[in-house]
């Protein structure tokens, strides 16, 4: 154990060191000291085998790629040790404090606000350093016939391009799934998607300013059409830049919420133009500027390739349950070795409904309770989910308890590496409508654990808001846990259930047990033709991702060195006789393609060799029986309210805090107004705890966690 802790510490320090090196390079790059030193370093490297291109790859790409390799190794080791996970989670507690509960960006946590401020300061520093350096050495241009003021305007426009470049360097990192780096700090994919949106908005703003200012200068000299249609032999290619800007604006416009939600297929199709966008960015900026953003592009390409290889296998449903509230529980057969944590998500595509649309759903089962089954709960909200419900219902209308075969493509599961709820003395789960689904997984996982474990969470308050009484069917997967008692132990020793039905009237004296019992009537069906080939495959492990990232990086470096060394002999040729810029860009594309192809081959061989290990012969444990055997030692408290929305601040303020409890985890999944109210309460309560200095009794802290699925 000590050796593992030492290894984790070494990996953590190494990862921080590599990220610090990468950050320092970006901070120093605009300075005159860096520029002078870099020219000297390139001159010396040019006479060696590594060359100028190799130096750029090693300096600008490798620090972040090495940090990624280390982070995957760190995730693999820390996820296998519960105590290491809990210690890591404890360090991140302070950053979960909501500091802004109402803003255009949504609820902002302390860690998010600090990261945003640091990034804005970095952008301001980069712009100021570049512009001030340019202004000091501006002289009138004879080739472009520009005066001093026009050259200054040109410099302002060009340096906005540098800011766009900085945004592009980190743009793709938040939307990594299998290779998600944000998991190291406990941020899940669905939460990090909004970082991608923020960065993309900033990048397009800077790109638009970059293009508009430069074109306005050209327009003032009546040379706009002449310049913008040039395809220069060397240097920046303006036509490629114009194409890049047009493609970027097209992607950005179709990604606006009003268009994305109404025309998702259009949004998805246009978004795939990112490949053309990156290609023309390379042609416009050149290979040396492309190396600045290469790390993110490489990781995204590897993530995309691994996901495509993982999802190409079509699986079949094991069973399905239809709920009266127009919800469906889908159960898949999985490999017993596939493990996942609560709040994990599974991406699902059903080719018979749409060949392109992937939709994320929370996993409501526990891998500790269900070794060979995995379940998700789908609530009908849009066209795709309604089509799925209608398909299952039409298949179930046959006079049989068996459904026909329904082919499904899956991707995932993706989830956090640590069980964040375990570090709290008490849990408050606030859900609205279909937002209950991630909490079903938490309750199932807690029910599968022994309550004698150290640092266990024993008290849970589930606050559930629905529109109609029928929507309580969503609690059916844990109805056994809520309704039955049995003599065995559970990690949950006290469970309070508060239900608010907002659009129907009823008697508050109604027995919640009776309501839940009557609502738990579902139609269950077993799928026909199930075989061992239908086992749900799991994504590649973190160590495999570390190896693939290292392999791709080394192959790319070797290819770029060989191509530049053996295919180009520049020597002391005049600049007019040197190879065109597009040749170097082509070398980058070829090296990138070879690196990705080598990773594809390695992954395919690995999957082929391990395919025989995916067979399973039984349906696993009975989750209902397991839940029933785990619920005895709970104190059950029920409350139901009709015809009103809860005042969440008042409800949470009445949450009892017992002696010795210092941390209460508040998890919320629901509409933005619900998240805003819960965040406001947590901020007010936590600030009050910090301001209390009487020393008589330590006030408990309510720590905010939001689970958001508005992708």
Average pLDDT (640-667) is 77
What is the reported pTM?
0.86
In 3D space, the residue among 95, 39, 43, 168 whose CA is nearest the CA of residue 686 turns out to be: 95
Res 425 pLDDT > 60: yes
Res 638 pLDDT > 90: no
How many residues appear in the chain?
A: 711
Q: How far is CA 553 from CA 65, 219, 273, 283, 600, in A?
A: 7, 43, 25, 21, 14
The percent of residues in the chain predicted with pLDDT above 90, rounded, is 28
**186, 665 in Cβ contact below 8 A?**
no
CATH number, span 314-535+623-706: 3.40.50.80
Q: How confident is the model at residue 454 (pLDDT cuts 50, 70, 90)?
A: low
Higher-pLDDT residue of 534 and 85 is: 534
**pLDDT tens per residue, range 546-599:** 999 999 999 999 999 998 888 775 554 545 556 777 888 899 999 999 999 999
Sign of torsion, CA 257 258 260 262?
positive
Q: What does the H/E/C string look like for 670-709?
A: CCHHHHHHHHHHHHHHHHHHHHCCCCCCCCCEEEEEECCC
**pLDDT tens per residue, range 682-693:** 888 776 655 554
- Joined tokens for residue 235: 């240097």
**pLDDT tens per residue, range 49-64:** 888 889 999 999 999 9
pLDDT at 57: 92
- Please, is 84 exposed, middle or buried when counting C-beta atoms within 10 Å of its C-beta (0-12, 13-18, 19+)? buried
pLDDT at 492: 67
DSSP 580: P
The percent of residues in the chain predicted with pLDDT above 70, rounded, is 78
**587, 560 in Cβ contact below 8 A?**
yes
- For 378, phi then psi, to 5°, come to -110, 120
Res 642 pLDDT > 50: yes
- For 704, phi then psi, to 5°, come to -90, 135
- Joined tokens for residue 21: 């090196």
pLDDT at 512: 63
The domains of the chain are located at 314-535+623-706
Res 645 pLDDT > 50: yes
Instruction: Find which of 144-148, 512-516, 626-630 is predicted with most confidence, using mean pLDDT.
Output: 144-148
In 3D space, the residue among 269, 294, 83, 67 whose CA is nearest the CA of residue 179 turns out to be: 67
């Amino acid at each position: 154990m000590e050796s593992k802790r030492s290894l984790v510490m070494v990996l953590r320090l190494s990862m921080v060191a590599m990220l610090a090196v990468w950050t320092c390079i970006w901070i120093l790059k605009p300075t005159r000291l860096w520029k002078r030193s870099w020219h000297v370093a390139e001159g010396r490297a040019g006479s060696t085998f590594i060359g100028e291109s190799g130096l750029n790859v090693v300096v600008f790409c490798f620090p972040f790629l090495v940090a990624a390799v280390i982070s995957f190794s760190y995730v693999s080791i820390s996820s296998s040790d519960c105590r290491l996970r809990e210690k890591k989670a404890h360090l991140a507690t302070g950053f979960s404090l909501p500091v802004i509960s109402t803003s255009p960006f949504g609820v902002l946590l302390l860690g998010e606000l600090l990261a945003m401020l640091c990034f804005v300061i970095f952008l301001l520093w980069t712009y100021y350093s570049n512009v001030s350096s340019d202004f000091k050495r501006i002289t009138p241009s004879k080739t472009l016939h520009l005066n001093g003021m026009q050259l200054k305007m040109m410099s302002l426009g060009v340096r906005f391009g540098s800011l766009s470049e900085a945004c592009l360097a980190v743009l793709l990192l938040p939307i990594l799934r299998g290779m998600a780096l944000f998991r190291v700090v406990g941020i899940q994919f669905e939460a990090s998607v909004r970082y991608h949106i923020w960065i993309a908005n900033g990048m397009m703003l800077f790109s638009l300013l970059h293009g508009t200012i430069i074109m306005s200068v050209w327009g003032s000299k009546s040379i706009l059409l002449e310049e913008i249609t040039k395809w220069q032999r060397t240097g920046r290619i303006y036509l490629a830049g114009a194409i890049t800007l047009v493609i970027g604006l097209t992607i950005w416009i179709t990604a606006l919420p009003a268009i994305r939600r109404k025309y998702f297929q259009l949004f998805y199709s246009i978004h795939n133009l990112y490949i053309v966008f990156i290609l023309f960015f390379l042609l416009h900026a050149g290979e040396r500027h492309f190396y600045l953003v290469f790390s993110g592009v490489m990781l995204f390409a590897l993530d995309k390739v691994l996901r495509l290889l993982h999802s190409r296998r079509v699986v079949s449903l094991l069973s399905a349950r239809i709920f009266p509230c127009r919800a469906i529980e889908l159960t898949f057969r999985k490999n017993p070795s596939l493990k996942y944590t609560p709040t994990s998500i599974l991406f699902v595509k059903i080719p018979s409904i749409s060949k392109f649309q992937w939709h994320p759903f929370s996993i409501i089962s526990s891998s500790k309770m269900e070794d060979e089954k995995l379940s998700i709960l789908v609530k009908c909200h849009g066209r795709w989910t309604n089509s799925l419900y209608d398909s299952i219902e039409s298949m179930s209308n046959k006079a049989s308890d068996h459904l026909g075969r329904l082919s499904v493509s899956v991707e995932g599961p993706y989830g956090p590496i640590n069980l964040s709820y375990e570090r709290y003395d008490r849990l408050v789960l606030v859900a609205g409508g279909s937002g209950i689904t991630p909490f079903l997984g938490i309750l199932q996982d807690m029910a599968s654990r022994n309550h004698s474990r150290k640092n266990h969470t024993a008290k849970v308050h589930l606050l559930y808001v629905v529109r109609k009484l029928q929507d309580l069917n969503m609690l059916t997967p844990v109805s056994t846990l809520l309704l039955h008692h049995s003599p065995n132990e559970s990690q949950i020793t006290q469970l309070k259930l508060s239900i608010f039905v907002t659009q129907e009237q009823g008697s508050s004296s109604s027995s919640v047990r009776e309501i839940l019992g009557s609502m738990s009537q579902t139609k269950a069906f077993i799928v026909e033709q199930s075989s061992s080939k239908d086992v749900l495959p799991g994504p590649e492990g973190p160590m495999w991702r570390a190896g693939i990232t290292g392999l791709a990086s080394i192959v790319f470096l070797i290819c770029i060195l060989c191509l530049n060394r053996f295919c180009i002999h520049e020597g002391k040729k005049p600049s007019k006789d040197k190879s065109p810029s597009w040749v170097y860009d082509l070398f980058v594309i070829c090296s990138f393609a070879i690196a990705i192809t080598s990773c594809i081959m390695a992954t395919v061989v690995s999957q082929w060799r391990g395919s025989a290990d995916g067979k399973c012969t039984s349906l696993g444990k009975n989750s209902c029986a397991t839940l029933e055997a785990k619920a005895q030692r709970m104190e059950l408290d029920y409350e139901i309210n009709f015809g009103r929305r809860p005042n969440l601040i008042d409800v949470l303020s009445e949450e009892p805090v017992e002696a010795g409890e210092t941390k209460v985890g508040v998890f919320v999944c629901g509409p933005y107004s619900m998240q805003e109210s819960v965040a406001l309460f947590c901020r007010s309560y936590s600030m009050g705890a910090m301001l209390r200095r009487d020393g008589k009794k330590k006030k408990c802290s309510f720590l905010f966690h939001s689970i958001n699925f508005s992708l």
